[in-house]
Amino acid sequence: MKNQLLFIAVIVLALAMVFGAMGCAPVDQEEEVSPPPDEDVDEDVDEDEEVVEFDGEIKIAVTGPMTNIQGEMMWWGAEMAMNEINEDGGVTIGDETYSVRLIQVETDEIMDPLGAVSAVENVIISEDPHFLIGGFRTEAVMPYTDLVAQDYQKIFVICGAATNELLEGRIDEDYDTWKYLFRVTPIKSTDLVTVTILMLNEVAMAVREELGIEQPKVAILAEALEWNEALVQMAPQIFPTLGLEFVGTFRPSATASDVTTELRGIEASGAQIIYTIFSGPVGIPYGRQWGELEIPAASVGINVEAQKSGYYPATDGFGDYDYTLMTFAQNTEITPETIPFIEKFVDLYGQLPNYNADTYSAVYILTEAAERAGTLDTDAVIVEMEQTDRISAAGRFVFDENHDVTFGPGFVTALGVQWQDGELLGAGWPIEWQPDPENAPDLVVGHEGMVPYQLPPHVLEQWRE
């Protein structure tokens, strides 16, 4: 009898285990809810002595690799916008005021890009957010934009993946399916490339002037990824039109930890300029080894790692004078918003904002569109999103026909930034940029506060000998 009871008990226990393991557990699972607003918010509320009663809340999910710097930046930028909006009395939609609430979604997409889509679906089901923003690694963003647009018809604002194909070939070909997707930051990858070519031209002029070399030699050092493939193929044809000589392409892996061999090859090719295209971690060993070995070639292009405050210590200071594209810089007044935004961000979080931190603008663009629409209805908000015309830290946001950031003079252009003595400064481009010298010779674009580009001293020294 006793044995029989034991037997039944074991089976019941086993049943419970099976059910537990089978996913009854995820039911009561909840995504991490946004932390309470920062201390300074509480203080402000006290000062205002008037606590705003909200009628509801707008839920915005921030999806990103939250343990990594990219996700942190996304979260910080969005959090800053949320706190500002809530302090200012929230969002008025119709007759009601809404507060903004952010939901953090840890997608872990750097380690496990294909698992990220599960995290996104989970938050959509358990929290039913009105909007989603974020997304960093393209291999992860592709499936989760699929899911958000096709299965749940929610607005997703991409804040971190530059790949053209996330919007191109989708919205233009099947508007009704894909209209839910937008991109706020960064500019799409082909535009990024355009900017780096302009920056390269700037460096080439410096080489001509200061080293007296009429036709500088350029070597391409590009991580082996698809997004820069077109450029790597075209570069040998583009360079001669800029008066440059192409001497070779080196393509290390995006995660390589040592590029000394490649640097030796570049040095042997006699290049004066290294044109870098790095979005991955390889940017750091590159910067360090380039500086420590004093490779006699100026470095220009995209190095996403060099856009972060941590780059200087991580390269032990050897990354100084690396010249990379960036969204905004602390010394450069792209718009009147730029410097206050950066200063406040640095104040709150102790780091320079990188392009992921423009989730800040994304939150504003979404809430403002909802305000104009007077409803949180997705289709109505999309119509208003398309009308967006907003001055932000990075420039003037207007969405193009692909729901992408409009690139160009007067809109968002990005800029060149250079590490100069441990400071990341807007430098070289655009100071006197003539986007269209033939048709519009008077159109000159430049930002307040930028400093001139400086050739790295070790390059100057070695080529003057």
The arrangement of strands across the sheet holding 96-106 comes to 91-93, 96-106, 56-64, 131-134, 155-159, 181-185
Q: Which is nearer to another protein, 266 or 427 (CB)?
A: 266
Phi and psi angles of residue 460, each rounded to the nearest 5 degrees, phi first: -55, -50
> Whole-number minimum distance, CB 315 to another protein, in Å?
6
CB contact at 8 A, 415 and 430:
yes
Smallest Cα–Cα separation from 111: which of 134, 140, 135?
140
Q: Please state, in angstroms and rounded to a whole number, the distance separating the CA atoms of residues 102 and 78.
A: 8
Q: Please state, in angstroms and rounded to a whole number, the distance separating the CA atoms of residues 416 and 431.
A: 10
Q: Please state, in angstroms and rounded to a whole number, the distance separating the CA atoms of residues 250 and 218.
A: 11
Retrieve residue 173's tokens: 């070909």
Phi and psi angles of residue 84, each rounded to the nearest 5 degrees, phi first: -60, -45
Q: Which is nearer to another protein, 210 or 267 (CB)?
A: 267
Q: Which is nearer to another protein, 187 or 206 (CB)?
A: 187
> Whole-number minimum distance, CB 348 to another protein, in Å?
17
Q: Please state, in angstroms and rounded to a whole number, the distance separating the CA atoms of residues 352 and 160.
A: 16
Phi and psi angles of residue 433, each rounded to the nearest 5 degrees, phi first: -90, 125
Q: Which residues pair with 99 in a beta bridge?
A: 57
- DSSP character at residue 138: H
Q: Please state, in angstroms and rounded to a whole number, the distance separating the CA atoms of residues 148 and 138.
A: 15
CB contact at 8 A, 275 and 266:
no
> Whole-number minimum distance, CB 281 to another protein, in Å?
6
* Cα-based angle 27, 29, 35 (whole degrees, multiple of 5): 150
Smallest Cα–Cα separation from 190: which of 24, 414, 353, 356?
414
SS (H, E, C) 387-437: CCCEEECCEEECECCCCCECECCCCECCEEEEEECCEEEEECCCCCECCCC
> Whole-number minimum distance, CB 367 to another protein, in Å?
26
Q: Which is nearer to another protein, 108 or 384 (CB)?
A: 108
Q: Is the bond into 296 cis (omega within 30 degrees of 0)?
A: no
Could you tell me where the DSSP H helices lie in 50-174?
Answer: 69-87, 116-127, 138-146
What is the total residue count of the chain? 465
> Whole-number minimum distance, CB 74 to another protein, in Å?
13
- Distances in Å between the alpha carbon of 11 and those of 5, 60, 222, 349? 10, 44, 60, 53
3-state secondary structure of 194: helix
> Whole-number minimum distance, CB 282 to another protein, in Å?
8
> Whole-number minimum distance, CB 269 to another protein, in Å?
9
> Whole-number minimum distance, CB 68 to another protein, in Å?
3
